[in-house]
């Protein structure tokens, strides 16, 4: 299986160029559903140890339905198939440029969440125009064992988020264990208490917003992903959901630019324009770097060829 690894702000993406399962020729939503329902072993084998590592996201290239699209892609982590992935889209664009498949300029990429526009600014810098994002519920309280009452916003940015601002724990690298444990508990509580999207979609990411010591940075975040790892980047879909909340509160105007920092200090440049359905159209700019180009080998005699599952 031929893959290319990159990282976006420290968050890894593994682009699968060939060797993936046959998902048919339906819509990307249908193909993503098939991947989730029938090919968990495939996802595990690529992302779990010893071949993968925590926080890695897979990007399976598939045929696009629109001939104007550079490619179709289905993102997944070790726990779930994702509707959209911001850092993965930045990494994918840089990977496609590395392969000579796209050049400087604007390109369309298809995801299960919708068609995404990317602008390759240089070999490493990508501007992503995400799908329309929105805040669904404001100031929702959830009772969390060990934490008490936690209040946050439910928002959609390509995935489903519960955003807590301000964070009950300082958003610092020294607090990673406490931040992870708290956000896992909050996600479990939202699911148990039925807090989620308009049609009952469960929360899959939890975001803690904190302050930064850098005067040029608007805020710093900690983002819990579905596989219980934290996002090393500021998370593109989380940033989109966050922009939707700022816009709904009147705390950020269309076209205004802010810098969102991750828990490890990597930045995204963010802005938005009004959407046509009452939400906002986010723009996320970040950098990715190709780290490796290799062939994954699946030896039938290897007891861990499908990953270490504990």
Cβ count near 277 (within 10 Å): 8
Residue 189, H or E segment: helix 176-192
Catalytic residue status for 301: no
Catalytic residue status for 245: no
> Nearest Cα to 119, choosing from 96, 143, 138, 152?
96
Q: Determine the number of helices (DSSP H) and then strands (DSSP E) in the chain.
A: 5, 16
Instruction: Name the phi and psi angles at 307, rounded to 5.
Output: 95, 160
Q: Which of 85, 225, 245, 301 is catalytic?
A: 85
Q: Which of 43, 225, 235, 245 is catalytic?
A: 235
Instruction: Name the phi and psi angles at 108, rounded to 5.
Output: -110, 135
179 CB-near residues (< 8 Å, 6+ apart): 167, 169, 171, 208, 222, 224, 230, 263
Instruction: Name the phi and psi angles at 239, rounded to 5.
Output: -65, -35
- DSSP assignment of 240-259 equals HHHHHHHHHTTSS-TT--EE
- What one-character DSSP code corresponds to residue 235? -
Q: Which residues are part of the catalytic machinery? A: 85, 235
């Amino acid at each position: 299986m031929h893959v290319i690894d990159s990282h976006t702000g420290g968050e890894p993406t593994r682009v699968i160029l060939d060797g993936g399962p046959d998902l048919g020729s339906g819509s990307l939503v249908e193909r993503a559903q098939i991947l989730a329902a029938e090919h968990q072993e495939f996802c595990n084998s690529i992302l779990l140890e010893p071949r993968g590592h925590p926080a890695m996201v897979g990007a399976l290239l598939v045929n696009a339905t629109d001939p104007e699209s550079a490619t179709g892609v289905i993102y997944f982590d070790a726990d779930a198939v994702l509707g959209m992935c911001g850092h993965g889209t930045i990494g994918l664009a840089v990977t496609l440029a590395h392969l000579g498949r796209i050049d400087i300029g604007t390109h369309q990429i298809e995801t299960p969440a919708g068609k995404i526009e990317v602008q390759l600014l240089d070999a490493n810098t990508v501007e992503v125009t995400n799908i329309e994002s929105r805040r669904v519920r404001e100031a929702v309280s959830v009772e969390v064992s060990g934490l008490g009452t936690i209040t946050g916003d439910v928002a959609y940015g390509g995935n489903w988020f519960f955003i807590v601002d301000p964070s009950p724990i300082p958003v610092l690298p020294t607090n990673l264990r406490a931040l992870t444990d708290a956000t896992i508990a909050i996600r479990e509580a939202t699911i148990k208490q039925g807090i989620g999207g308009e049609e009952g979609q469960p929360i899959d990411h939890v975001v803690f917003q904190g302050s930064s010591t850098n005067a040029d940075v608007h805020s710093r975040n900690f983002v819990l992903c579905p596989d219980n790892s934290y996002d090393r980047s500021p998370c593109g879909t989380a940033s989109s959901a966050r922009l939707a909340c700022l816009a709904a509160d009147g705390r950020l105007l269309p076209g205004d630019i802010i810098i969102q920092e991750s828990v490890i200090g990597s930045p995204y440049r963010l802005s938005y324009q009004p959407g046509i359905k009452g939400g906002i159209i986010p723009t996320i700019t970040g950098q990715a770097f190709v780290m490796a180009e290799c062939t994954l080998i699946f030896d039938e005699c290897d007891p861990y060829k499908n990953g270490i599952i504990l």
